[in-house]
Amino acid sequence: MDASDLPMVFFTVVSQMSVGTFLVLGVLQIAGRRKHSAATVERLVAPVLYAIGPALVLGLIVSMFHMHDVTHSFNVIRHWQSSWLSREIIFGCAFALFGFVFAILEWFESGALALRQTLAVIAALLGIGLLVSESMIYYSLVAIPAWHSWAVPFQFCATAILLGAIGVAGALMVATFVRLRPAKAPADQSEAEAVAAESAAAATSGSETGVAEATGAEAAAESDAAESGAAAESPVRSGLGAKIKERFAAINSPTSDEEWQLTAATIRGTAIAGALIAIAILVSYPIYVGGLSQGNAAAIAAAHEFSGGAFWSRLILVGVTAILLGFFVFTMAARTTVVKAKALVYLVLATFIIAIVGEFLGRWLHYAAMIKAGL
């Protein structure tokens, strides 16, 4: 594989993970509201939602370096009528834009619920369009047998679902871990303020009653100036800052029993979904490589790429991911309480790291198999 393909390895994996995470969140919202309140579901969705956009934007930026000259990326979108690459860029940017607007409205709890749901549906459809465009870029290249195959759209969708499911589980675990931290009450500060207040009261009661009127006028003027300065401060800025602090406090407040029940159920569901997808990936490789080995010279040469150390490492990582998800994560999530969730947090995050390394290896092999027929 050429080193110039590394940006595309990163972009395709990260973008597919972002789309998969968004779609899994949509399923979580729909399924969660059948048994739980909307407030409980939103508490779970919010921490995950705000990790999707930055990841996708980073992937889009990195992908531009694949063109050697970043300015060429703006010319690519001009051929959207006939080019899947143009469509990929358009869908990717549109998905990021609509996802960003939806996240902002969710953050500030602004706009009607119907509006937010509509934006979420549009973003999800754009994300699916991004997956289709990415797949067709490679599938449409008939001269490359390893890419002109059912395995390409399957692997891209499998990456989206696998990393999306584990990504949601990992984000939920991180949020749970943060919420486990005890709130630190500013006891020392409160005590100091109480002492200062008592001292001020004593000084006031013990002061002489004959205070000069000039001094009183000066104090009144200073008070008026302070009030004017406070009024002059931008209400938009202070309101925005207060709203952000309020949202952070609400998101990071301790996990309730109902929220943990939904979290644990979500972890179990994503664990089963991820394990099944991992098994499907393992099963697909013998069929895919076997088909290549029966093809022309380019296909046979591509099949040899799926026989070295990177390929076996890929299979091992996917297999370990399936075992960890299907047995350990699922079982631990069923019996763990929120106050003892740290072990589950570490297990889910370790599984996510193993899975994403395996997917990067799989995408590395995808580009390594770029062998053209007749050349």
> Tell me, what's the pLDDT at 183?
46
d(CA 371, CA 296): 11
Q: How much is the pLDDT for 38?
A: 84
Q: Are 147 and 130 in contact (CB under 8 A)?
A: no
What's the confidence (pLDDT) of residue 197?
52
Domain-wise residue ranges, the chain: 3-180+249-368
149 contacts 178 by C-beta, under 8 angstroms: no
Count CB-CB contacts under 10 A for residue 48.
22
Residue 337 — φ and ψ, nearest 5°? Answer: -95, 165
Q: How far apart are CA 351 and CA 215, in angstroms?
A: 70
Q: pLDDT, tens digit, for every residue of 263-286?
A: 999 999 999 999 999 999 999 999
Strands (E), 115-240: none
Query: What's the CATH number for 3-180+249-368?
Result: 1.20.1630
What is the number of other CB atoms lying within 10 angstroms of the CB of residue 5?
A: 17
What is the pLDDT at residue 53?
63
Structure tokens at 325: 């998800």
pLDDT computed for residue 210 by the predictor: 46
Residue 267 is encoded by which pair of tokens?
């972890």
E strands, the chain, where? none
Per DSSP, 295 falls in state S
Task: Tokens 């486990």: give the residue.
Answer: 180
Using DSSP, state whether 363 is helix, strand or coil. helix
Q: Where are the alpha helices (DSSP H) in 297-372?
A: 297-304, 309-323, 330-335, 342-368
Could you say which residues of the chain have pLDDT below 70?
Answer: 1-4, 51-53, 55-80, 82, 182-240, 374-375
- Count Cβ neighbours within 10 Å for each residue of 159-182 and write b for 16 or more, e otherwise: bbbbbbbbbbbbbbbbbbbebeee
| pLDDT value, residue 213 | 46
pLDDT for position 203: 47
Q: What is the pLDDT of residue 296?
A: 93
Residue 160 corresponds to which tokens in the numbers above? 């989206």
371 token code pair: 């062998």
- Distance (Å, rounded) from C-alpha 198 to C-alpha 200? 5
**Token duo for residue 17:** 């993970």
